[in-house]
Amino acid sequence: MKPYYMPCYQVRETTLLKDAWTLAIEALSWIELQNLSEKLALSKTAKQLHITNTFAKGLAHKLVCETMRKRNLLDRLINHALAPRAISDFDLGVRAFLRLYAYETKTEPKRDVHKEAVEIARMGRSILEWETLQPVEKALGALLSLKTETVLRELSDDEKTALQTCHPSWFVKYCFKLFGRNDALKLLESGQTFPPVYVRLNTLKSTEEKTLEALQKEDIQLAPVQGLKDVYKITKTKQPLASTKSFKEGLFYVQDKASCLAAEVTAPEPGMTVFDVCAAPGAKTTHLAMLMQNKGAIFSLDYSKRRMNAWKQSISRMGVENATPIISDACQPLPLNGTADIVILDPPCTSTGVFARTPSAKWRLSPRSIRKMAEIQWQMLRNSADKVKEDGWLIYSTCSITVEENEMQIERFLKLHLEFKLCETKPLIGQAGLRGLTKCQRLYPHMHECNGFFIAKLQRKP
């Protein structure tokens, strides 16, 4: 009998798929163990396993993000199939595999789901070993025949909505109360899809026209964003943006359009002094430097050495020459002499506006997280205000949709700081702020195809 040789392309495809699943299982384990983000967990895992294939990493990224996006629904299905046991009874690797298996077989449409399930189970055994998966083998079969409607039956409206939109129950209740049921459902449902990717062209390195030509040569298709300068939505690309020649040359920065709005609202002029508080990894600093034409001075503060290393890489790649890094905790008085024309603060937040882009964030939070984060932001806001000169500007922004982190902070601040007044945020591409603060601006994923965002602009009176 002639030996069987698998065609080279099948070998490559099989190896790629196994590498992707190995990355995904390990990354999901790190996320659960250390509360890492998807991006950080995948980067850590790729280095740990020495997997460099771009396509394997790309597939793993999709698997991890989509599995984390639907984690509560997947766990509910898995627990139903495992009963009387639960997913929490098993180790991290088995948990990760079960979630990936449930995602692929229960939420992704397949022509032959049974054949797909057999292949996934076989691959799981080769990655984790047969003995490891043996205790859950029966559950794999039970999951295939399980109907989602059965699991959702007899649940309360809030619980059912939480599973259908894949959000924590407390967050569903919060959104219903803040926005009303209809608008809240639109917001929650928008979290089921990954938002568009945007880039900001870097005029410090080249003109807009030349950069667009360079991107076109690399088969990157874009559409301009109305209301913002130099900002484009990616409509098509054949390769990861970070691997392109244009990216490496610093011709553009991958940056959500909501974040780009913050710098444009700030409106710095060449020659000004700007304090960029919570500056890493460098999106705001590089944008401010571009608007200032590398003239004047930007002092960028952040408490994280790791994130400031990323800031330094961004500064170098984008050709910024007027920015100085400072490692400092903004919860303490800022270690800067004098005052600035502009202080821009983008403090740590609950990230409730980026659940679609970073799904793991929603499972790390609780109602207490909002209160705790708001107090940190309050300390940073007051410390930042101390460094604004007369007639100077204070810009406050978050990627959160909660009122505690946004409008309520500004209300509290204005009551205690009569020397500041609230001003219009222009350009206006979003919705008016809540609680009567119509000069503030909000962006929502379901309305504006970007991160959820809040921005306020205040001026210190003479």
Q: Which residue is it, tokens 């007051």?
A: 382
Between vectors from CA 399 to CA 394 and to CA 405, what angle results, nearest 5°? 70
In the three-class reduction of DSSP (H, G, I as helix; E, B as strand; rest coil), residue 422 is classed as strand
pLDDT of residue 154: 83
pLDDT of residue 13: 60
pLDDT of residue 5: 32
Region of poorest pLDDT, from 96-110, 304-318, 428-442: 96-110
pLDDT digits (tens, 9 = 90+) for 142-171: 999 999 998 998 899 999 999 999 999 999
Q: Give the C-alpha separation, 56 to 50, whole Å.
A: 12
Tokens encoding 61: 């990224």
User: What letter would DSSP give residue 461?
Assistant: -
Tokens encoding 263: 């710098």
* Catalytic residue list contains 399: yes
Q: Give the C-alpha separation, 67 to 86, whole Å.
A: 18
Same domain, 129 and 205: no
Tokens encoding 341: 């024309």
Q: Do the domain assignments include residue 371?
A: yes
Residue count of the chain, please give it. Answer: 462
Mean pLDDT of 423-442: 98
Same domain, 451 and 324: yes
Same domain, 214 and 278: no
Q: For residue 72, give Cα distances in angstroms to 168, 169, 363, 411.
A: 8, 10, 9, 35
Bridge-partner residues for 254, per DSSP? 199
Same domain, 285 and 352: yes
pLDDT digits (tens, 9 = 90+) for 276-311: 999 999 999 999 999 999 999 999 999 999 999 999
Same domain, 268 and 392: yes
Number of domains in the chain: 4
pLDDT of residue 181: 96
Same domain, 275 and 336: yes
Same domain, 274 and 419: yes
Same domain, 58 and 181: no
Whether the per-residue pLDDT at 367 is higher than 90: the answer is: yes
6, 54, 5, 51: which is closest to 25 by C-alpha?
Answer: 51
Whether the per-residue pLDDT at 452 is higher than 90: the answer is: yes
CB 113 within 8 A of CB 105: yes
Same domain, 142 and 271: no
CB 96 within 8 A of CB 103: no
pLDDT of residue 7: 37
CB 203 within 8 A of CB 290: yes
Domain containing 173 equals 164-190
Mean pLDDT of 188-198: 94
Same domain, 34 and 141: yes
Same domain, 295 and 245: no
Work out the mean pLDDT of the chain and round it to a whole number. Answer: 94
- Domain end marker among 206, 237, 254: 254
Q: Do the domain assignments include residue 106?
A: yes
pLDDT digits (tens, 9 = 90+) for 211-240: 999 999 999 999 999 999 999 999 999 888
Whether the per-residue pLDDT at 331 is higher than 70: the answer is: yes
User: What is the phi-psi region of residue 76: left when phi exceeds 0, alpha when psi lies from -120 to 50, beta otherwise?
Assistant: alpha
pTM beyond cutoff 0.95: no
Q: Do the domain assignments include residue 92?
A: yes
pLDDT digits (tens, 9 = 90+) for 8-50: 334 346 788 999 999 999 999 999 999 999 999 999 999 999 9
Mean pLDDT of 101-109: 91
Q: Do the domain assignments include residue 2?
A: no
pLDDT of residue 54: 86
Catalytic residue among 399, 423, 440, 450: 399
- Domain end marker among 238, 254, 270: 254
Q: Do the domain assignments include residue 1?
A: no
Same domain, 293 and 334: yes
User: What is the phi-psi region of residue 300: left when phi exceeds 0, alpha when psi lies from -120 to 50, beta otherwise?
Assistant: beta
Q: What is the CATH number of the domain that holds 96?
A: 1.10.940.10
